[in-house]
């Protein structure tokens, strides 16, 4: 059976029955278009997740150390840093002191999105993306001497200091919570920057602690909360790393772990996995809906093909009389269903690709994931992220077309010639 | 497979019955038909309406199967064949012409003529070339891209003749090919059939028109599914009395 012949016949039949054709294709078109949008959005979110985490060491853990204010000796930064030498799992430790309401100012202007974090020089091992594009990152002496120095994000240099050339920012003086800080480095720009990482600046944690004072755990006011980034030698040692710190807490407090101390720990791997699962879950649920629409579309194609078979009995009889065997007839109708669903898929893709792009332009973020929302990158327009959803959704539509074309095609091939030729 | 000898009949029906069971009554559309048709014959099948002519032809054409009896075509037992083998026979050995022309309305003339070649697996280019030649033979090459509804009945039947010839069939089966045509166009169609017969093809023709039947070399007359006459066209027995009087 000639594929081109079947295509010609299919197109002419589609053309001859425009209303029926529209009714048949509606489900397919909507199903494919929505699947393209969903897959496109999902791949965008997925890309955002991996972009975000690629800035960090894959074996990084975020740890919140809780210590009872009254009942317990407290783990010091020195104790934590001691683990680098004593534990085989831990390779770097940095405190993290967020300076809330940092009020970052330069020449009387403030930068609203700015964030200030107090860390140690080891932070660079945990977030390798924090390379200084100009100047340098924090060094041990900055920490021990509680220097009022800062390494600023590229957006701070550009927007607050107005420096196109980052070298010009070095040596400038900024105000953080009213205190003067000298810029010693500018960080390389993060691209894409969905989480406003370019607005983050870093100061020695020792200096930061002076600004913030003691930090009491939110909701648990009789506990101190000390936050650390801990880097492990391998992602496989997440549990070992956590247990090492628990053991330290027990040792320092002189009580079993958990009695007067507590540890909240989260590895980037876990949160990345969670974020991915959230995206997959969302995409899965939405695709389920598209799938149902596609199925309805498939049933539509089946119905129309069944009607076409009984309408075209005579044609079937004639074809058989001139030598078509059963597989020839079956193939013809399967090909017609295939072409029809292909046509629906094409329309769906033509609608779905721009629709997906529009959704990603205006949606901003989706309220899922560990941090409560995942950002959509409106600039993500590379060919593969646009193409594979189109290919996948079309493939599903074509498969359904063939599946639902099978029954009518079977019916067609089973018709007896004499029955076809009778009036 | 039995060896087909030249002296054997091309078509051999033996004691063929076709019985339709409708409720209580059984209609014997064919009631013990036995006949031989040789290569190159021009046979007309006549008989009153409902006498079983079409049934007989459909069985010869492998479009239908008898209830009992045997049928050999070119020495081969057709009733023992599977669907595929019968499709091949229809494709390569048999060519059909119907009363209602039965062209496929959505296909243009070329595509209609190409059907047998399509299912024989011929390439598109070759099919097109040959279908144009065939349309040329029936004088319709200039309308190759028209669809059947743009043609007169006589023209459509000429396309159907071209289509029947596409598979180079040894046997042409024509079920009242002139039935829907005026007598002038009918004679024209008959002329084509005679031409094909002169080329050596076996022609089996069903007709109600005694004038046309008399042009055949041999007439088979059916009555209630039985052969009541089989012989020369000039015998008074050959013609259908009821229709002569009508
Ligand atoms: N599918 C069927 N079911 C029941 N009876 C049938 C069927 N097909 C044919 N018959 C009967 O078989 C008999 C022979 O029919 P057939 O079509 O062969 O007649 P015919 O000689 O070709 O008649 P006509 O000249 O009207 O075409 C008729 O009585 C007809 O009613
Ligand atoms: Mg008849």
Which pLDDT does position B242 carry in this prediction? 52
CA of B228 vs chain A CAs: smallest distance (Å): 25
Exposed, middle or buried, B117 (CB in 10 Å: 0-12/13-18/19+)?
buried
Is the same domain home to A290 and A375? Answer: yes
Query: Does a structural domain hold residue A317?
Result: yes
A152 vs A365, which has greater pLDDT? A152
B4 lines ligand 1 (CB under 6 A): no
Pocket test for ligand 1, best of B17, B18, B20, B246 (most atoms within 8 A of CB): B20
Which pLDDT does position B238 carry in this prediction? 75
Query: Does a structural domain hold residue A251?
Result: no
* pTM of the full structure: 0.78
Is the same domain home to A221 and A353? Answer: no
B5 vs A56, which has greater pLDDT? A56
Is the same domain home to A409 and A325? Answer: yes
- Look at chain A and report how many structural domains it folds into: 2
Within a 13 Å sphere around the CA of A46, how many CA atoms are in the beta-carbon half? Answer: 14
B100 lines ligand 1 (CB under 6 A): no
**pLDDT exceeds 50 at position A103:** yes
Q: Give the pLDDT confidence of A10-27 residue by residue, as tens digits.
A: 888 888 888 878 877 888
The answer, for B98 touching chain A at a CB cutoff of 8 Å, is yes
pLDDT mean over A122-136: 89
Is the same domain home to A413 and A365? Answer: yes
Q: Sorting pLDDT into bands at 50, 70 and 90, what band is A226?
A: very high
Ligand 1, atom 11, residue with closest C-alpha: B29
- Residue B52 CA to ligand 1 center (angstroms) comes to 6
Tell me the chain B residues in contact with residue A325 when contact means C-beta distances shorter than 8 Å: 83-84, 87-88, 119
Q: Give the pLDDT confidence of B109-118 residue by residue, as tens digits.
A: 999 999 999 9
**pLDDT exceeds 50 at position B1:** no
Q: Return the number of CB contacts < 8 Å for A and B.
A: 75
In the listed set A233, A258, A288, which residue is the last one of a domain according to the structure? A233
Query: Does a structural domain hold residue A330?
Result: yes
B64: nearest CB among A319, A324, A418: A418
Instruction: Out of A48-57, B42-51, B199-208, B212-221, pick the least confident.
Output: A48-57
CA of B231 vs chain A CAs: smallest distance (Å): 29
**pLDDT exceeds 80 at position B231:** yes
* Alpha carbons A139 and A137: distance in angstroms, whole number: 7
The answer, for B91 touching chain A at a CB cutoff of 8 Å, is yes
B25 lines ligand 1 (CB under 6 A): no
In A, minimum Cα distance to B64 occurs at A418
Query: Does a structural domain hold residue A238?
Result: no
Is the same domain home to A9 and A147? Answer: no
The answer, for B163 touching chain A at a CB cutoff of 8 Å, is yes
In the listed set A180, A214, A233, which residue is the last one of a domain according to the structure? A233
Is the same domain home to A169 and A192? Answer: yes
- Closest ligand 1 atom, CA of A419? 1
- Residue A199 CA to ligand 2 center (angstroms) comes to 90
Q: Sorting pLDDT into bands at 50, 70 and 90, what band is B210?
A: confident
Q: Sorting pLDDT into bands at 50, 70 and 90, what band is B84?
A: very high
Q: Are A145 and A92 in contact (CB under 8 A)?
A: no
Is the same domain home to A103 and A148? Answer: yes
Q: In what order do the strands lie in the sheet with B76-77?
A: B25-37, B11-22, B68-73, B76-77
Give strand ranges (E) for chain B. Answer: 11-22, 25-37, 42-47, 68-73, 76-77, 94-97, 171-175, 202-206, 218-223, 226-231
* Alpha carbons B16 and B57: distance in angstroms, whole number: 12
Q: Give the pLDDT confidence of A322-332 residue by residue, as tens digits.
A: 999 999 999 99
Element of type H or E holding A151: strand A149-152
Q: Do B88 and A325 touch (CB under 8 A)?
A: yes
pLDDT mean over A241-251: 93
- Closest ligand 1 atom, CA of B222? 21
- Closest ligand 1 atom, CA of B208? 25
Domain that includes residue A20, residue range: 3-54+272-422
**pLDDT exceeds 90 at position A266:** yes
Query: Does a structural domain hold residue A261?
Result: no
Q: Do A2 and B115 touch (CB under 8 A)?
A: no
Q: Do A322 and B90 touch (CB under 8 A)?
A: yes
Tell me the chain B residues in contact with residue A9 when contact means C-beta distances shorter than 8 Å: 106-107
Is the same domain home to A193 and A119? Answer: yes
Ligand 1, atom 4, residue with closest C-alpha: B20
B49 lines ligand 1 (CB under 6 A): yes
- Residue B193 CA to ligand 1 center (angstroms) comes to 25
Return the CA Rg of chain B. Answer: 18
Which pLDDT does position A1 carry in this prediction? 53
Q: Within 10 Å of residue B69's Cβ, how many Cβ atoms?
A: 17
Which pLDDT does position A375 carry in this prediction? 87
Which pLDDT does position B225 carry in this prediction? 94
CA of A407 vs chain B CAs: smallest distance (Å): 20
pLDDT mean over A42-51: 89
B119: nearest CB among A322, A417, A418: A322
- Look-up of token digits 């002189």: A254
Q: Give the pLDDT confidence of B9-39 residue by residue, as tens digits.
A: 899 999 999 999 988 899 999 999 999 999 9
Ligand with an atom nearest the CA of residue B98: 2
- Closest ligand 1 atom, CA of B47? 21
Which pLDDT does position A379 carry in this prediction? 80
Is the same domain home to A147 and A80? Answer: yes
Q: Sorting pLDDT into bands at 50, 70 and 90, what band is B6?
A: low
Q: Do B104 and A315 touch (CB under 8 A)?
A: yes
- Residues 54-73 of chain B with CB under 8 A from chain A are 58, 61, 63-64
% pLDDT > 90, chain A: 61
Q: Within 10 Å of residue B99's Cβ, how many Cβ atoms?
A: 18
Q: Do B115 and A13 touch (CB under 8 A)?
A: no
Is the same domain home to A402 and A376? Answer: yes
- The complex's ipTM works out to 0.93
CA of A318 vs chain B CAs: smallest distance (Å): 7
SS3 content of chain B, % helix, strand, coil (to 5): 40, 25, 35
Q: Do B106 and A13 touch (CB under 8 A)?
A: yes
Ligand 1, atom 31, residue with closest C-alpha: B50
**Whose CA is closest to A397, among A301, A286, A281?**
A301
Q: In what order do the strands lie in the sheet with B218-223?
A: B94-97, B171-175, B202-206, B42-47, B218-223, B226-231
In the listed set A208, A233, A258, which residue is the last one of a domain according to the structure? A233
Tell me the chain B residues in contact with residue A13 when contact means C-beta distances shorter than 8 Å: 106
* Rounded alpha-carbon distances, angstroms, from residue A264 to A67, A249, B7: 12, 12, 101
Element of type H or E holding A185: strand A179-187
Work out the mean pLDDT of chain A and round it to a whole number. Answer: 90
Q: Give the pLDDT confidence of B127-179 residue by residue, as tens digits.
A: 999 999 999 999 999 999 999 999 999 999 999 999 999 999 999 999 999 98
Which pLDDT does position A131 carry in this prediction? 84
Query: Does a structural domain hold residue A242?
Result: no
The answer, for B81 touching chain A at a CB cutoff of 8 Å, is no
Please list, in sequence order, all residues whose beta carbon lies within 8 angstroms of the beta carbon of residue A212, skipping any fewer than 6 positions away. Answer: A97, A98, A99, A100, A118
Is the same domain home to A209 and A66? Answer: yes
Which pLDDT does position B3 carry in this prediction? 56
Query: Does a structural domain hold residue A250?
Result: no
Q: Do A324 and B87 touch (CB under 8 A)?
A: yes
Q: Do B96 and A9 touch (CB under 8 A)?
A: no
Which pLDDT does position A385 carry in this prediction? 75
The answer, for B18 touching chain A at a CB cutoff of 8 Å, is no
Query: Does a structural domain hold residue A267?
Result: no
Is the same domain home to A39 and A135? Answer: no
């Amino acid at each position: 059976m000639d594929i081109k012949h079947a295509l010609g016949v299919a197109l002419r039949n589609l053309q001859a029955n425009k209303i029926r054709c529209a009714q048949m294709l509606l489900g397919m078109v909507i199903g494919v278009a929505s699947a393209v949008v969903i897959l496109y959005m999902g791949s965008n979110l997925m890309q955002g997740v991996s972009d975000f985490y690629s800035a960090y060491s894959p074996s990084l853990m975020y740890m919140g150390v809780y210590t009872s204010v009254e009942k317990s000796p407290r783990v010091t930064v020195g104790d934590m840093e001691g683990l680098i030498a004593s534990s085989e799992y831990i390779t770097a430790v940095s405190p993290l002191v967020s300076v809330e309401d940092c009020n970052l100012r330069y020449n009387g202007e403030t930068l609203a999105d700015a964030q200030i974090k107090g860390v140690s020089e080891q932070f660079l091992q945990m977030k390798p993306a924090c390379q200084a594009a100009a100047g340098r990152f924090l060094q041990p002496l900055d920490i021990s001497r509680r220097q009022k120095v800062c390494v600023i994000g590229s957006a701070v240099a550009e927007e607050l200091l107005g420096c196109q050339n980052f070298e010009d920012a070095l040596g400038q003086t900024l105000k953080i919570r009213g205190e003067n800080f000298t810029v010693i480095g500018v960080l390389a720009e993060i691209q894409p920057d969905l989480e406003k990482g370019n607005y983050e600046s870093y100061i020695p944690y020792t200096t930061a602690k002076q600004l913030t004072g003691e930090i009491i755990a939110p909701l648990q006011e009789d506990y101190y909360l000390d936050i650390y980034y801990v880097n492990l030698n391998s992602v496989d040692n997440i549990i070992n790393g956590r247990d090492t710190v628990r053991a330290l807490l027990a040792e320092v407090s002189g009580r079993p772990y958990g009695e007067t101390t507590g540890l909240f720990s989260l590895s980037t791997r876990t949160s990345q996995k969670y974020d991915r699962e959230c995206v997959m879950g969302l995409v899965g649920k939405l695709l389920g809906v598209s799938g149902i629409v596609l199925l309805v579309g498939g049933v539509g194609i089946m119905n129309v093909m069944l009607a076409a078979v009984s309408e075209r009995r005579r044609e079937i009889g004639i074809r058989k009389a001139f030598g078509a065997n059963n597989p020839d007839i079956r193939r013809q109708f399967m090909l017609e269903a295939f072409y029809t669903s292909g046509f629906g898929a094409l329309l769906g893709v033509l609608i779905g690709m721009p629709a997906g792009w529009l959704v990603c332009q205006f949606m901003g973020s989706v309220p899922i994931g560990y941090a409560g929302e995942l950002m959509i990158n409106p600039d993500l327009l590379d060919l593969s992220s646009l193409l594979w959803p189109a290919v996948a959704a079309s493939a599903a539509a074509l498969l359904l077309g063939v599946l639902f074309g099978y029954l009518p095609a079977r019916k067609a091939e089973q018709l007896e010639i004499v029955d076809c030729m009778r009036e | 497979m039995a060896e087909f000898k030249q002296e054997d009949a091309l078509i051999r029906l033996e004691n063929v019955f076709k019985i339709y069971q409708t409720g209580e009554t059984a209609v014997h559309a064919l009631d013990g038909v036995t006949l031989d048709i040789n290569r190159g014959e021009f046979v007309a099948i006549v008989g009153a309406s409902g006498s079983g002519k079409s049934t007989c032809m459909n069985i010869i054409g492998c479009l239908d199967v008898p209830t009992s009896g045997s049928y050999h075509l070119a020495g081969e037992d057709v009733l023992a064949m599977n669907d595929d083998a019968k499709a091949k026979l229809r494709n390569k050995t048999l060519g059909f012409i119907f009363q209602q022309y039965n062209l496929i309305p959505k296909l243009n003339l070329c595509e209609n003529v190409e059907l047998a070649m399509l299912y024989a697996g011929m390439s598109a280019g070759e099919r097109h070339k040959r279908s144009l030649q065939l349309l040329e033979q029936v004088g319709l090459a200039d309308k190759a891209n028209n669809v059947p509804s743009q043609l007169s009945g006589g023209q459509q039947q000429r396309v159907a003749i071209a289509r029947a010839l596409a598979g180079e069939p040894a046997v042409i089966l024509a079920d009242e090919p002139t039935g829907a045509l005026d007598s002038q166009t009918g004679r024209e169609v008959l002329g084509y059939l005679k031409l094909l017969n002169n080329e050596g093809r076996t022609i089996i023709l069903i007709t109600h028109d005694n004038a046309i039947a008399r042009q055949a070399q041999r007439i088979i007359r059916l009555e209630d599914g039985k052969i009541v006459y089989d012989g020369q066209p000039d015998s008074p027995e050959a013609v259908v009395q009821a229709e002569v009087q009508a």
